[in-house]
Amino acid sequence: MPPAPTLVKGMRDLLPPETHWFQAVEAAARELFARYGYREIRTPILERTELFARTVGEETDIVGKEMYSFLDRDQTSLTLRPEATAAVARAYVEHRLWEQPGWTRLYYLGPMFRRERPQQGRYRQFSQIGAELLGGDAPQMDAEMLVMLARLLDRLGLSGWTLSLNSLGCAEDRPRFERALREALLPIAPRLCGDCRRRAETNPLRVLDCKRPEDQPLIAQLPTTLDLLDPPCREHFEQVKQLLERAGVPYQLQPRLVRGLDYYTRTAFEFVHGALGAQNALLGGGRYDLLAERLGAPKGAGAGIGFALGEDRLVSAWRAGLAPSDPPPAAEIYLAPLGEAALAPALELAEQLRQAGLSVAAGDARWSAKKHLSTASRQAARWAVLIGEQEIQARQATVKTLANGEQSAVAWPQLAEFFATASGAARA
């Protein structure tokens, strides 16, 4: 017999109760985004490969080494999306969303795919939450998004985060900065790691993003983007910082923060947390004033700012002693039919309780009362409801509170009210 299939390397199964943490993060994000006027967008998992080559950048690690791409039957090159900002920008252009009044606020949740080296909190299929604010270049947009993200982390009870902030300058600044960086790299590139030597030729800004400890003293000698900002970009960045200070959101300037994608301009940021080790970014993003324009939006209509949050890494940090509560049980009420004759009335009661808004899991009618109670305890239910021959005759249920062993006889019509009262008393 052949061996059983196993997981693809770098992928993972998310099982209960771990999925609770992801649901909690997603629910908090949805609620908060709605307060800021964001609405959900859902783009396809598959996009044309050229979309990412044109926007993310031919020389980035994502496009060069990490994308899952293949030829469709019509020989079109398709790619499992490695990130969603390019896909949202494509949808923004294709559906002419700039024609709607005001700024366009969109958020998304879903899987992304990158064939990178698996490490703590990083998988080749990973879940992201992100948002894009499109239609203008006002510093107010940048500050609003950063304040919203600070509120999200605070809302999750995740303290100890740090906002790292930089400006990459306007599109006109980038060629000038790349020239200065290439010149500064000439004498030190041979002493850097292989990736940095390659990037020094193809994409020098990415050298600043190197995480290799041995290279940091040399990289510290390189010029930063803040050294070469033109006056309008410097003023834009100053206004972003002032708005953050007015909102009470602390930040640290990180002049070598560049992010890994070619479409970023002006504001770039990361929220980092010490619980994640060396790769400590919880989320990151930045402004991309020309991205949608390159895909066909009118000049100035596609400027925007966005972020992406890796759920796997956020949940990892959240659970590192930071989570406010344990996951809930699969169901608060475990309903135990004792014998085949009890099955039909027990299932009818279970459905009535569910309709009343309660969570109920029913057990196997062939099991003994002892096995039912053991199963209820192992599933962390709060109550076990036993329905046997005596209960059927009396049209009552035997309700056992598993935390203290107390037992009550409750008439079937009063069961929902009993649990509602008991839940209220427990919360009080």
Cα–Cα distance, 84 to 95 (Å, whole number): 16
Question: Would you say residue 225 lies in a domain?
Answer: no
**The CATH number of the domain where 387 resides is what?**
3.40.50.800
Give Cα 207 to chain centroid, integer Å.
26
Q: Tally Cβ neighbours within 10 Å of residue 294.
A: 14
3 within some domain: no
DSSP string, 82-129: S-SHHHHHHHHHHTTGGGSSS-EEEEEEEEEE-----BTTB-SEEEEE
Nearest residue to 49 (alpha-carbon basis) of 66, 31, 69? 69
CB 265 within 8 A of CB 202: no
3-state secondary structure 216-230: HHHHCCCCCHHHHCC
Number of domains the chain is built from: 2
Q: What is the pLDDT along the chain (428 residues), one digit of tens a residue?
A: 778 888 888 888 888 888 888 998 999 999 999 999 999 999 999 999 989 888 776 556 666 668 889 899 999 999 999 999 999 999 999 999 999 888 999 999 999 998 877 666 578 898 999 999 999 999 999 999 999 999 999 888 887 889 999 998 887 777 788 788 888 877 887 887 877 788 777 777 777 777 778 878 877 888 888 887 888 999 999 999 999 999 999 999 988 888 766 778 889 999 987 655 555 778 999 999 888 888 888 888 889 999 999 898 888 777 775 444 556 667 899 999 999 999 999 999 999 999 999 999 999 999 999 999 999 998 889 999 999 999 999 999 999 999 899 999 999 999 999 998 887 655 54
3-state SS, residue 52: helix
Contacts (Cβ under 8 Å, ≥6 apart) of 73: none
| Residue 392 domain flag | yes
Identify the pLDDT of residue 279. Answer: 58
Q: Is residue 376 part of a domain?
A: yes
Chain mean position to CA 266 = 23
Domain boundary among 292, 319, 346: 319
Q: Which residues contact residue 7 at a Cβ distance below 8 angstroms, ignoring those fewer than 6 apart?
A: 13
Indicate if 164 and 256 belong to the same structural domain.
Answer: yes
Q: What is the pLDDT of residue 387?
A: 95
Give residue 351's domain range.
333-427
State the Cα–Cα distance between residues 170 and 243, nearest whole angstrom. 20
Quick check: is 195 in a domain? no
Measured distance CA(369)–CA(338) in Å, rounded: 7
Q: Does one domain contain both 349 and 312?
A: no
For residues 289 and 341, membership in a common domain is answered with: no
Residue 310 shares a structural domain with residue 337: no
Q: Is residue 76 part of a domain?
A: yes
**39-40 β-sheet, strand order:** 39-40, 104-113, 125-134, 304-310, 281-287, 265-272, 162-167, 252-253
Dist. CA 295–CA 266, nearest whole Å: 19
Same domain, 282 and 366: no
Query: What is residue 87's predicted lDDT score, i.e. its pLDDT?
Result: 94
Q: Which amino acid is located at 48 in the chain?
A: R
268 and 375 in a single domain? The answer is no
* Of the residues 319, 345, 360, the one at which a domain ends: 319
d(CA 354, CA 331): 10
**98: domain CATH number?**
3.30.930.10
Sign of CA dihedral 356, 359, 365, 368: negative
Question: Is 191 part of any domain?
Answer: no
Q: What confidence score (pLDDT) does residue 115 get?
A: 87
Q: How many C-beta neighbours within 10 Å does residue 255 have?
A: 15
In a domain, 10, yes or no: no
Same domain for 337 and 315: no
- Look up residue 22 and give its two tokens: 């992801």
Q: Which of 285, 319, 353 is the last residue of a domain?
A: 319
Residue 243 and residue 339 in one domain: no
Closest to 224 measured CA to CA, from 232, 234, 238: 234
Q: Which of 121, 55, 146 is nearest to 93 (CA)?
A: 55
For residue 428, what is the DSSP state? Answer: -
* Same domain? 242 vs 303: yes
If you count them, how many residues does the chain have?
A: 428
User: Do both 346 and 388 map to the same domain?
Assistant: yes
Residues 270 and 416 in one domain: no
Question: Are 268 and 393 members of one domain?
Answer: no
> In Å, how far are 221, 222, 395 from 215, measured between CA atoms?
11, 11, 76
Distances (CA, A) of 332 to 44, 387, 409: 37, 17, 18
